[in-house]
């Protein structure tokens, strides 16, 4: 008998028919003798609807009340799923994040899980009951409802699996695993049988929305066995996130391509090329709580240089305001320019560690398509470029083909 945490995403429980189908699937698992804790997201579209409602009433919604509103989608889903299970004669109970005591910090809309009290779940499991928990939500030490950020149900599932020391955490979604890239952009993308934890962490942080990054971080920290599977297919092994590079079943240099449209680029032009200039520009940005991703500074000409960096698109205007108000005159910059129509395309693979030439092949492929590279950043297992947003799909498809990701290995 295994203890398994299963998470079903929004599309998997998108209609009452789908909820009944999921109940059938869970019931079969339980009948096979497993203990199950199930995490569900809100029905698809529901969280977006709730966010829109909140913004209709308050343009900049109060974070505490925002969480009260947007967390309700999951509560509906857990109740409906339990009803579908009870209807089948399966003993089940639903719990909100607060009820099973998923304790978080107080950063509303992006709270972090601090502690989970698994007693209540254990008691239900011992009595042969299936436990259904609302994803995406928790409570802080004062009992305020918090949410974990978009896609946060993945993190709830992995955190529960860690707390319960489950044998496996299974993320059921609308694709049958992690693919070489988003199959919505490249239909030839292939499912990976396995992907290393490090690669998954990079892919999630570079924009692959298949798993919320924090869920991957949790899996790494607590060594949770994590698998991504389809809730629409009866069979299939999905994709296993592995911790051992050696046991990786596929030997490709590149495992996947990720992309992200959520960034914007800012360039501070004609600043004196002297010590302290990066701090003078990025210090105030940091003080304004704006996260910076890529940074490049050019070599100086005539004692002047340019410095470019990227920020989340939501914080683009705020960053420009900070620079114009607090930085521009102070450091005597010639100009501040911004571009919010950029995107970041990244190639990820542990195979890069041992192979040179990947970067040059990437740059050649983009050059052949006439795509200008604006920024580059690399780490041991990834290369990212910033390009014009309008070439994103072309770049991803060209790279996918050039690196043979559409070919079976
Ligand atoms: P859920 O509602 O189940 O959480 P999501 O929409 O959050 O589902 O995540 C599944 C989607 O992630 C897929 O439909 C797919 O379009 C997208 N996706 C992005 N990158 C990848 C990838 N590398 N492999 C598979 N799916 C990906
Ligand atoms: N319902 C939340 C969202 O849409 C959480 C999730 O689906 O994981 O972001
Ligand atoms: Mg998701």
Q: Which atom of ligand 1 lies nearest, measured to the CA of 172?
A: 3
- In order of their start, the domains of the chain are 3-174 (3.40.1160.10), 257-402 (3.30.2130.10)
CA of 396 to the centre of ligand 1 (A): 16
- pLDDT for residue 408: 77
Ligand 2 in reach of 152 Cβ (< 6 A): yes
The closest residue, in CA terms, to atom 10 on ligand 1 is 210
- pLDDT for residue 299: 80
Query: Residue-wise pLDDT tens for the chain (409 aa)?
Result: 899 999 999 999 999 999 999 999 999 999 999 999 999 999 999 999 999 999 999 999 999 999 999 999 999 999 999 999 999 999 999 999 999 999 999 999 999 999 999 999 999 999 999 999 999 999 999 999 999 999 999 999 999 999 999 999 999 999 999 999 999 999 999 999 999 999 999 999 999 999 999 999 999 999 999 999 999 998 899 999 998 765 554 567 899 999 999 999 999 999 988 899 999 999 999 999 899 999 998 887 788 999 999 999 999 999 999 999 999 998 999 999 999 999 999 999 998 888 888 999 999 999 999 999 999 999 999 999 999 999 999 999 999 999 999 987 6
For a substitution probing ligand 1, which of 47, 176, 200, 209 has the most ligand atoms within 8 Å of its CB? 209
From CA 1, how far away is CA 120, in angstroms rounded?
20
| Pair 23, 53: CB distance under 8 Å | no
b/e 333-348 (16+ beta carbons within 10 angstroms → b)? beebeebeebbbbbbb
Taking ligand 3, which is a single-atom ion, which protein residues have CB atoms under 5 Å away?
9, 151
Provide φ and ψ at 98, rounded to 5°.
-65, -40
The closest residue, in CA terms, to atom 4 on ligand 1 is 9
- pLDDT for residue 245: 64
Q: Which H or E element spans position 210?
A: none
For a substitution probing ligand 2, which of 7, 12, 40, 41 has the most ligand atoms within 8 Å of its CB? 41
Q: Is the pTM of this model over 0.75?
A: yes
* Residue-wise DSSP of 188-251: T--B-SEEEHHHHHHHHHTT-TTS-HHHHHHHHHHT--EEEEESS-SS---EEEES-STT-S--
């Amino acid at each position: 008998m295994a203890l398994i945490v299963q998470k079903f995403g929004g599309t998997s429980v998108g209609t009452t028919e789908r909820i009944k189908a999921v109940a059938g699937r869970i019931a079969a698992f339980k009948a096979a003798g497993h203990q199950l804790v199930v995490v569900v997201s809100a029905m698809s579209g529901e969280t977006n609807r709730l966010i829109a409602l909140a913004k209709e009433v308050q343009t900049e919604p109060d974070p505490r009340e925002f969480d009260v509103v947007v967390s309700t989608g999951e509560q509906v889903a857990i109740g409906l799923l339990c009803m579908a299970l009870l209807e089948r004669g399966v003993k089940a109970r639903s719990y909100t994040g607060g009820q099973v005591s998923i304790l978080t910090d107080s950063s509303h809309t992006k709270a972090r899980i601090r502690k989970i009290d698994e007693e209540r779940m254990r008691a239900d499991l011992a009595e042969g009951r299936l436990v259904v928990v609302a994803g995406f939500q928790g409570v802080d030490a004062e009992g305020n409802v918090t949410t974990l950020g978009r896609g946060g149900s993945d993190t709830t599932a992995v955190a529960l699996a860690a707390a319960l020391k489950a044998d496996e955490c299974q993320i059921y979604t609308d694709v049958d695993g992690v693919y070489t890239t988003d199959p919505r952009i490249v239909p030839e993308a292939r499912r990976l049988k396995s992907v290393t934890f490090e690669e998954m962490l990079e892919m999630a942080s570079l924009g692959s929305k298949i798993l919320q990054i924090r869920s991957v971080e949790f899996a790494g920290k607590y060594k949770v066995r994590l698998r991504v599977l389809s809730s629409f297919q009866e069979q299939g092994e999905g994709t296993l996130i592995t911790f051992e590079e050696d046991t990786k079943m596929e030997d490709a240099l590149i495992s996947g391509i990720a992309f992200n449209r959520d960034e914007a680029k800012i360039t501070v032009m004609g600043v004196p090329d002297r010590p302290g200039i990066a701090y003078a520009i990025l210090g105030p940005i940091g003080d304004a709580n704006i996260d910076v991703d890529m940074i490049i500074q050019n070599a100086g000409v005539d004692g002047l240089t340019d410095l470019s960096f990227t920020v989340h698109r939501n914080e683009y205007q705020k960053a420009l305001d900070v620079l114009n108000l607090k930085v521009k005159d102070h450091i005597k910059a010639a100009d501040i320019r911004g571009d919010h129509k950029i995107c970041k395309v990244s190639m990820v693979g542990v195979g890069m560690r041992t192979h040179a030439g990947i970067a040059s092949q990437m740059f050649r492929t983009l050059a052949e398509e006439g795509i200008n590279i604006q920024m580059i950043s690399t780490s041991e297992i990834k290369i990212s470029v910033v390009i014009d947003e309008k070439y994103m799909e072309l770049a991803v498809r060209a790279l996918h083909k050039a690196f043979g990701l559409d070919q079976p290995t």
